[in-house]
Amino acid sequence: MKIFPVFKDLAIGGLVFALFLLLISFSLQAQQNPEDPVSELQSKIPAKKSNVQADTTINLQEVIVKAFQSEKRLLDTPGSIDILSNRQLLTEPTFTLAPLVNKTAGVWMQSGTMNTNRLTIRGIGTRSPYGTNKIRAYYGDIPLTNGVGETTLEDLDLGEISNIEIMKGPASGFYGSGLGGVLLFNPVKPLTSQLLQQVSIGSYQTIQYSGKLTIAGKNSGHSLVFSDIHSDGYRENNETNRHNLTWTSSYSKNNTKIDLLAAYIKTYAYIPSSVDLKSFQETPQKAAPNWAATRGYEDYQKAFGGISVQQTLGRNWQAKVGTFGQFFENYELRPFNILQEKSFYTGLRSVLEKKYSGEKTTSRFILGDEFFTENYQWQTLQNNNREPGKLLSDNQEYRRYNNIFMLADLNFQEKFMLSASLNLNQTRYQYDDHFLSDGDQSGIQQFNPILSPRLAMNWLSSEKIRFYSVISHGFSPPSLEETLMPGGQRNPSIKPETGWNFEIGSKGYLGNSMFYELTAYYMKVKNLLVAQRTGEDEYMGINAGATNHPGIELRIDYRVIDQPTWSTFFRMNANLTHYRFAEFLDIGHDYSGNKLTGTPAATSNWMLETKHTTGLFLNLHFQTVGRMPIRDDNSIYTDAYTLTNLMAGYEKSFGSLSVYLSSGIQNLFATHYASMILINAGAVGNQSPRYYYPGIPRNYKTMLSLRYSF
């Protein structure tokens, strides 16, 4: 009987780490003789505190989360929420976001290149061909998700992010109703005046520079960051250049707090695209022939910003109002045509909160609204030897939605908390066809209002143990392109994709050294949106059925060594899933009962993090990924694989100057794997289907950071 590869990898990973931890324990016992006066003296010496980076990875459970504006400890927040700290973002041998978020159970980000990624949460979003959909994201209070639910995450400056909060499952009631969940990118708040210079060098002529100036006053903080990255890339036609400029300011006095944020991003990146099986196995460094021949690339710039004002009023009232906007412009050279895009969106978000305190209960009530409007224009032109030719299409969309949300939290005797919320959404598209040679296809698509509730409960069974349960509803509207048929006519019968999420879980401390979280969930999605390929770059959306998403997630943080001069953590998380098409009819084919495409049935992460007060640290990460079906008929699968990453470094403060030096290896054992797949890829002409984006083989990163405080 064959063992499913990922379970074998789980067993191997667990055995390796168990032996490693056992070895450490023996060495520690040998070093700690209770009769040794030196050891006894050292145990009384307090650990030195590093001024280089605040180590928030030790007790993430004690971090105050901003999800749902709760300002509660992660331990006390009902629901499955994970946090990636700034230190975790820095101590990883990578230049991209994908390997970082993939260390979270239930979250899976595939990365084809630096500028081509797809993020999924609990199997939601797998059918988006080249990007992230059905998952909402915010940078501070500014939405990163456009009017049709698409989100671009790969061009953010990770060094300017304080932490990332990942809410799994619909977070209806405060952040809209993204079907998969929500990512909150919280900007760094300036606390001290500093000047930072940072340089990172990696494989494939990758170099990244970052310069940062922060000025902190008694009631204010300001930060200006410039970063630049260049990489030739592992593959042919894979060069990337990106520039980021980010400014944040915060001012508070008396009962008023003002936050400002502005960012500019400029990216010029070539596109190698996906390859067929033969190329993936034999020449993975090559680009797709048609993209290499035309030297395809995208050249875009983006600017977004916002301002929010928070006012604390009398009698426990608080009001917060913010406005935001984004401009985006893109020119993309493709083998089949040239795409030109422009979009501009603005919005307003307002929240009113009231708190009550009684003898045995505390409560708060929130009423809010988020209004969003976007003007999106795009044209396609003939590609005449890399020069724009005849106009092929000329389109304009007006996208608008309004989210009205309410939330109530009730806390009974600090033992039982109930959180209930509602989100009412109204989405509307208007399409103007400016290319009239094939007739005027203009029209309006307005969906019926959708009410999405969320009910979450948290019970403190003891001082260290919590139990929680969540019932929530989410939806994802089709993009306007999905509402159009191949001839350009609108499909008025298409419906938003909706789903109910049910989960129960427990989290807390076992003894003084171990934190755990165990979650079981089940999501039922209906009116499944399927993008049927009608051409090399043409898709049509249909509602094709329903999917079931049951799964189990486990997380363990164990303090192996807790000494004044040395600390070591073992962290592990895993998820097991059974995602299936419940009902799925597509062009006469019945795929009901098949496995959901584009997501592994099991993943696990095994991490060892150790540091010494001398400034030395070492991080080891071992990941297992199960195989994934590539086609809806489950006829083709990717191979299961394992990845090993290693990072070591040194950090030290010399008065006002702090030095951080690290070096790491990603994919230590040069595993050959697909880092992203294109599900249900079609064959063009006599070519084989191009399913695979090859993963990067063994690669290196070294970073030097100098920080001067004044």
In terms of C-beta density within 10 A (0-12 exposed, 13-18 middle, 19 or more buried), how is residue 623 classed? buried
Closest CA to 516 of 563, 557, 486, 547: 557
For residue 510, what pLDDT band results from cuts at 50, 70 and 90? Answer: very high
Contact 91, 617 (CB under 8 A): yes
Closest by Cα among 582, 585, 586, 595 to 524: 582
Q: Give yes or no for residue 23 having a pLDDT over 60.
A: no
Average pLDDT over residues 686-700: 94
3-state DSSP assignment of residue 69? helix
Q: In this predicted structure, what is the pLDDT of residue 59?
A: 60
Give the pLDDT band of residue 53 (cuts 50, 70, 90).
Answer: very low
Summary mean pLDDT of the chain: 87
pLDDT band at 698 (very low <50, low <70, confident <90, very high): very high
CA angle 663, 667, 673 (to 5 degrees): 155
pLDDT at site 5: 44
pLDDT of residue 148: 85
pLDDT score for 487: 57
Within a 10 A sphere around the Cβ of 295, how many other Cβ atoms? 13
Q: Which of 207, 315, 340, 247 is nearest to 704 (CA)?
A: 207
CATH number of the domain enclosing 294: 2.40.170.20
pLDDT category of residue 610 using cuts at 50, 70 and 90 = very high
Strand partners of residue 346: 325, 373
Residue 532 has pLDDT above 90, yes or no: no
Strand partners, 358: none
Distance CA 583, CA 560 (A): 47
Residue 312 C-beta-side C-alpha neighbours within 13 Å: 8
Other beta carbons within 10 angstroms of residue 688's beta carbon come to: 13
**Is 123 buried (19+), middle (13-18) or exposed (0-12) by CB count in 10 A?**
buried
Name which of 70, 130, 650 is nearest 362 in CA terms: 70
Residue pair 597/680 in contact by the 8 Å Cβ criterion: yes
| Residue 41 domain flag | no
CA 11, 16, 18 angle in degrees (round to 5)? 90
Residue 230 inside a domain? The answer is yes
Rounded to whole angstroms, how far apart are CA atoms 177 and 449?
Answer: 12
Q: Which residue has the higher pLDDT, 537 or 595?
A: 595
What 3-state class would DSSP assign to 10? helix
Is position 518 within any domain? yes
pLDDT 10s digits, 54-109: 344 446 667 788 777 777 888 888 889 999 988 888 888 899 999 999 999 999 99
Give a yes or no: residue 684 inside a domain: yes
pLDDT at residue 674 in the model: 97
Question: Residue 407's beta-bridge partner residues?
Answer: 366, 421
| Domain around 97 | 5-32+60-709
How does pLDDT run across 547-570, given as a tens digit for each residue? 999 999 999 999 999 899 999 999
522 CB-contact burial (10 Å; exposed 0-12 / middle 13-18 / buried 19+): middle
For 362, the token pair is 């505390």
Looking from the CA of 581 toward its CB, the CA atoms found within 13 Å total 27
pLDDT confidence of residue 531: 64
CA 170, CA 526: separation in Å to the nearest integer?
14
Question: Which tens digits make up the pLDDT trace of 283-332?
Answer: 999 999 999 999 999 999 999 999 999 999 988 999 999 999 999 999 99
Q: Confirm whether 658 is domain-assigned.
A: yes
Question: In the 3-class helix/strand/coil scheme, how is 120-189 assigned residue by residue?
Answer: EECCECCCCCCCEECEEEEECCEECECCCCEECCCCCCHHHEEEEEEEECCCCCCECEECCEEEEEEECC
pLDDT tens digit sequence for 471-507: 999 998 887 667 766 555 667 778 889 999 999 999 9
Nearest to 340, CA basis, from 388, 411, 283: 388
For residue 199, the one-letter residue type is V
Structure tokens at 357: 């305190």
pLDDT recorded at residue 27: 39
As a whole number of angstroms, the distance between CA 583 and CA 569 comes to: 44
Q: Which of 11-25, 128-142, 441-455, 531-545 has the lowest mean pLDDT?
A: 11-25
Query: Of 486, 606, 477, which Cα lies nearest the Cα of 13?
Result: 606
pLDDT tens, residue by residue, 413-427: 878 999 999 999 999
Residue 510 maps to a domain: yes
Per-residue confidence band for 445, with pLDDT thresholds at 50, 70 and 90: confident
For residues 58 and 73, give the distance between their C-alpha atoms in angstroms, rounded to a whole number: 14
Spell out the SS3 assignment of 516-560: EEEEEEEEEEECCEEEEEEECCEEEEEECEEEEEEEEEEEEEEEE
Q: Token pair for residue 669?
A: 């054992």
Q: What is the bridge-based pairing of β-strands 361-384 and 387-412? A: antiparallel
Q: Please list, in sequence order, all residues whose beta carbon lies within 8 angstroms of the beta carbon of residue 285, skipping any fewer than 6 positions away.
A: 234, 235, 236, 694
DSSP lists the bridge partners of residue 570 as: 558, 608
- Residue 121's CB is within 10 A of a number of other CB atoms, namely 27
pLDDT at residue number 489: 62
pLDDT of residue 533: 56
Say how far apart CA 581 and CA 679 lie, in whole Å.
Answer: 15
Does residue 640 fall inside a structural domain? yes
Label residue 638 by pLDDT band (50, 70, 90): very high
Residue 33: pLDDT over 50: no
According to the model, what pLDDT value does residue 175 have? 85
* Both structure tokens of 428: 């509307």
- Compute the average pLDDT of residues 246-275: 95
Residue 513 in tokens: 């050294």
Q: Per mean pLDDT, which range of 145-149, 171-175, 665-669 is the poorest?
A: 171-175
The percentage of residues in the chain with a pLDDT greater than 70, rounded to a whole number, is 88
Residues ≥6 apart with Cβ < 8 Å to 652: 52, 614, 615, 658, 659
Give the total number of structural domains in the chain.
1
- Residue 341's pLDDT is what? 96
CA 333 to chain centre: 27
Residue at 574 is within a domain = yes
